[in-house]
Structure 1
Amino acid sequence: MKTEREFAAIILAAGKGTRMKSTLHKVLHPIAGRPMLMHLLDSLAELEIQRTVVVVGDKREQLDAALAKSDITTALQEPQLGTAHAALQAREELAGFTGNILVCFGDCPMVKAATVRKLVAALDDGAKVAVLGFRPNDPLQYGRIIADRDGRVAKMVEYKDATEDERACDLCNSGLIIAHSDDMWALLDGVGNDNAQGEYYLPDVATGAIARGDRVAVVETDAAEVAGINSRAELAAAEAQWQDDQRDYWMSEGVTLRAPETVFFSYDTRLAADVTIDPNVVFGPGVTIASGAHIKSFCHLEGATIGEDCSVGPYARLRPGAIMGKNSFVGNFVEMKKAVLGEGAKASHLSYLGDAEIGANANIGAGTITCNYDGYFKYKTVIGERAFIGSNSSLIAPVTIGADAIVGAGSAVSRDVGAGDLRVVRGEQSVKPGWADRFHDAMKKKKAAEKND
């Protein structure tokens, strides 16, 4: 949906985030493998926002680095005198911009584009300012919004400045606020700091609009959507909420989760209908799974592409660059990294396949490894269609095994094997009749002698 007016966003992220007790900026802490700030930016991107400014302060260099490849700019708040003061720091970056301006917080990553559209609609309906409210189970020390049944705001007040009657109101301020640029800058300039904290509060934008007779509207949303993240516990709660939402979403899309609460997704996991996922599976970033695939228990997948009707695990690990063709199979304790398993190929157990290309219907025996690293460089192993690699084989790259070739169990292969050839590379067996019996007898006598001393 394209808004009728131009649209800009100011994201406040200048706080020190001391409760996180971290050297990493608060808004860069990840949810489902993606920094919380990026979750918010992804939502805002759906609104076709023309310009976005992130207001920074503490650890500015981290945010500048995180945003370096985008067209998002930053503005410094120093000193930090409150949220209204922070929003004003974006004025220079938005010089010449005319349109709606949304001010929101970088530590509220769950805000949805659909909710912001409701705020925009409130402006289109005649409000000069629109704010986002919510009703938490415990209002705690949130600022309050005093409004009538039609959503017209009479007053906004911080908890520390509220009367007992105002604190009894359960409609709380999320901090999100929107107004046209013609109103936003004037109202921000008019915010004072005559309050218990001596700070310039963003909600006073609404207070100033009410004082001059403008209509201020409140839009309500669910508390979970606007939950701020200020501590590790709140970060864990946000992660849990995000994962719950994703589980519900994927099941609604036709994915079977046998124990939903034990499956963990990444922000970019992509699953087709009729995928089945057993308990205790973790998806890192970059996983795509086609229809009919079955991911068994205790698997960890990252950067992997799984084809139709594949079977993975249990206890398999697929690392970045792992690609499984249709109807291929990896079993327990198989690890793949930058390896392609062709259609119908299988590695049933206890194998490492790295930097490898494995042809259709090839069979990789238990304990097989591709020796792809010499301490300095990586090398590739190529295994042809229908090749059979015997158990406990070491394929020392770079090496090519031809189609229909057989590598005997226990072989260490360092030279190419032709199509249809058999290669067996083993040390010659030596048999010494009776040697083991004589060894055991000698050791038992020695142990008995030591015991009697």
Structure 2
Amino acid sequence: MREFAAIILAAGKGTRMKSDLHKVLHPIAGRAMIDHLMASVDELAPARKVVVVGAGREQLETALGDRAATCLQEPQLGTGHAVQQAQAQLEGFEGDVLVMYGDVPFVRPATMQAMLDRLRGDDAPAAVVLGFEPDEALQYGRVIADGEGRISKMVEFKDASEEERACRLCNSGLMAARASDLWALLDRVGNDNAQGEYYLPDIVNIAIGDGRTCAAVTTDTPDEVAGINSRAELAAAERQWQEYRREEAMAEGVSLKAPETVFFSWDTEIGRDVTIEPNVVFGPGVKIDDGAHIKAFSHIEGATIGREAQVGPFARLRPGAVMEEGAFVGNFVEMKKAVLGPGAKASHLSYLGDTTVGANANIGAGTITCNYDGYFKYKTEIGERAFIGSNSALIAPVKIGADAIVAAGSAVSRDVAPGELRMVRGEQLVKPGWADRFHDTMKKKKAAEKKG
């Protein structure tokens, strides 16, 4: 099997997005659209990857790091011209080349492999085009091919006859060719067209004119070649991705009470027999073990949720939150960089930050860990079976020992020993009858004002 290289075109200005962020860096399910594409490419282990950049190149080069080489297209004179800019980066490479688009993020590895396999067929096509058959062909360029996928002509919609426009096989723009054929054919592409640009599909017609075979591979999932050029199309891509992921989750044994209201991240990992109630949002970095229950209106990112744990409703788990087996957080509880041990619970209205909570400890309503002094973060450690009374403030750094009790309303700034009761309250002042005399005085005063 020959090696292959991937060229990803990402030089467009993306003016329809109306954004300062490079178009292909806009996220879908928390991941830049170009990263979705590159992850699929990487599954096939390419020998090289080259991203063609233009406007906003600094953003893109920073985001890519050393994951791909880049080359600049300036000025931008069409897709054929864009591919030519990668030639220097691929000097000496003699394998196959896949040409992809950074704003077409959902092309599956299997589809890419099918293009490469067809390119390596016995008839040695000069180029392979990825075609698709949308419900509405609209003004897509057409691929005129026979039943075996051998192309006789590529034609733009505006140049097509009525018979050609009746063809449902449309050009996605994605292509595969051997490196030697690709560069030789591109050298012969002209720009005698209304836009004065050099178009990549022209290499197919040139090769056919030479008597060479060119072939089409047709995707059975037209949505995978949908391009993203506007905020509306970005939203449609997000919807498409989420619908697929919800179906996948349910097929893998996850119960979604209202699937259309649950939003996953690209890397959400969920075990079996997990129940997710309506209006739950997952940010990146979430792992959920078997049997967990995520209740409605919870927001979770960067968190690990153990077996049979319960979250919410209305809970927020931030990066570094860990709930071990059977742990429970209830409504309006926030965790950040905190570990809730097995069977431990924080039922309502609490903040746990930079904290470890031992097994079977109880965090009362309104408890907060005061972990930040305006300059540095400090840690709170709560031992096993400790009981933290409601409306307590644990002023870090502080340790609460195993089986200790912190009385409700306490502000604890020193360590509490195991088994100790700590009560930090002001002395209660009692004045019998004071409230009755106060109410009588104020009622008389108000009545006098009304008469006046």
TM range (shorter): over 0.9
Question: Deviations for 1:52-99, whole angstroms, at most 9, x for unmatched residues?
Answer: 11111111111011011x330111101111000000000111111110
Measured in 2, the distance between the counterparts of 1:144 and 1:28 equals 30
Instruction: Give the Å deviation of 1:446.
Output: 3.5
2:19 to 15, 18, 22: 22
> Is 2:64 the partner of 1:67?
yes
* 2:355 corresponding residue in structure 1: 356
Measured in 2, the distance between the counterparts of 1:441 and 1:144 equals 90
Question: In 2, are the aligned partners of 1:275 and 1:294 still within 8 Å (CA)?
Answer: yes
Instruction: Give the Å deviation of 1:241.
Output: 0.5
Measured in 2, the distance between the counterparts of 1:421 and 1:55 equals 66
> Is 2:40 the partner of 1:47?
no
Question: Deviations for 1:178-229, whole angstroms, at most 9, x for unmatched residues?
Answer: 0000101111111111223221111111111111111111111122000000
Q: Which moved more, 1:365-374 or 1:122-131?
A: 122-131
> Is 2:425 the partner of 1:429?
no
Question: Deviations for 1:384-431, whole angstroms, at most 9, x for unmatched residues?
Answer: 011011111110000000000000111110000000000011111111
Measured in 1, the distance between the counterparts of 2:27 and 2:258 equals 24
Measured in 2, the distance between the counterparts of 1:202 and 1:379 equals 58
Query: Tell me, what secondary structure is at the counterpart of 1:264?
Result: coil
Measured in 2, the distance between the counterparts of 1:95 and 1:345 equals 60
> Is 2:101 the partner of 1:105?
yes
Tell me the matched-pair count: 449
* 2:7 corresponding residue in structure 1: 10
1:81 to 77, 80, 88: 77
User: RMSD of aligned C-alpha atoms?
Assistant: 1.1
Measured in 2, the distance between the counterparts of 1:219 and 1:51 equals 23
Question: In 2, are the aligned partners of 1:160 and 1:196 still within 8 Å (CA)?
Answer: no
Question: Deviations for 1:298-322, whole angstroms, at most 9, x for unmatched residues?
Answer: 1100000011110111111000000
> Is 2:115 the partner of 1:115?
no
Instruction: Give the Å deviation of 1:434.
Output: 2.1
Measured in 1, the distance between the counterparts of 2:450 and 2:201 equals 86
Instruction: Give the Å deviation of 1:290.
Output: 0.5
Measured in 2, the distance between the counterparts of 1:449 and 1:153 equals 99
- The aligned amino acid for 1:79 is P
* 1:399 corresponding residue in structure 2: 398
Instruction: Give the Å deviation of 1:121.
Output: 1.1
Question: In 2, are the aligned partners of 1:417 and 1:423 still within 8 Å (CA)?
Answer: yes
Question: In 2, are the aligned partners of 1:284 and 1:303 still within 8 Å (CA)?
Answer: yes
- The aligned amino acid for 1:10 is I
* 2:191 corresponding residue in structure 1: 193
Structure 1 segment 171-320 matched on structure 2, within 5 A: 171-221=169-219, 222-320=221-319
Measured in 1, the distance between the counterparts of 2:205 and 2:191 equals 13
Question: Deviations for 1:93-146, whole angstroms, at most 9, x for unmatched residues?
Answer: 111111000111100000000001110111121322111011112222211111
Measured in 1, the distance between the counterparts of 2:132 and 2:411 equals 66
Measured in 1, the distance between the counterparts of 2:387 and 2:35 equals 46
Query: Tell me, what secondary structure is at the counterpart of 1:355?
Result: strand
Measured in 2, the distance between the counterparts of 1:7 and 1:154 equals 26
- The aligned amino acid for 2:95 is G
> Is 2:113 the partner of 1:135?
no
- The aligned amino acid for 2:157 is Y
Measured in 2, the distance between the counterparts of 1:148 and 1:138 equals 21
Instruction: Give the Å deviation of 1:258.
Output: 1.5
Query: Tell me, what secondary structure is at the counterpart of 1:416?
Result: coil
Measured in 1, the distance between the counterparts of 2:440 and 2:265 equals 60
Query: Tell me, what secondary structure is at the counterpart of 2:253?
Result: coil
Measured in 1, the distance between the counterparts of 2:42 and 2:447 equals 80
Measured in 2, the distance between the counterparts of 1:71 and 1:281 equals 33
- The aligned amino acid for 1:294 is H
Question: Deviations for 1:343-393, whole angstroms, at most 9, x for unmatched residues?
Answer: 111111111000000001111111111011111111100000110111111
Measured in 2, the distance between the counterparts of 1:296 and 1:417 equals 34
Instruction: Give the Å deviation of 1:163.
Output: 2.7
Instruction: Give the Å deviation of 1:160.
Output: 2.6
Query: Tell me, what secondary structure is at the counterpart of 1:96?
Result: coil
1:170 to 168, 171, 181: 168
Question: In 2, are the aligned partners of 1:161 and 1:195 still within 8 Å (CA)?
Answer: no
Question: In 2, are the aligned partners of 1:142 and 1:172 still within 8 Å (CA)?
Answer: yes
Instruction: Give the Å deviation of 1:452.
Output: 4.3
Query: Tell me, what secondary structure is at the counterpart of 1:103?
Result: strand
- The aligned amino acid for 1:394 is A
> Is 2:328 the partner of 1:329?
yes
- The aligned amino acid for 1:30 is P
Measured in 2, the distance between the counterparts of 1:448 and 1:241 equals 68
Task: Using structure 2 for the length normalisation, give the TM-score.
Answer: 0.97
Measured in 1, the distance between the counterparts of 2:156 and 2:184 equals 21
Instruction: Give the Å deviation of 1:297.
Output: 0.8
Gaps of 5+ in 2: none
Measured in 2, the distance between the counterparts of 1:164 and 1:451 equals 90
Measured in 2, the distance between the counterparts of 1:197 and 1:250 equals 46
Instruction: Give the Å deviation of 1:170.
Output: 1.7
Instruction: Give the Å deviation of 1:157.
Output: 1.4
Question: Deviations for 1:261-301, whole angstroms, at most 9, x for unmatched residues?
Answer: 11110011001111111111110000000111111111100
Percent of aligned positions that are identical: 70
Measured in 1, the distance between the counterparts of 2:120 and 2:390 equals 70
* 2:144 corresponding residue in structure 1: 146
Gaps of 5+ in 1: none
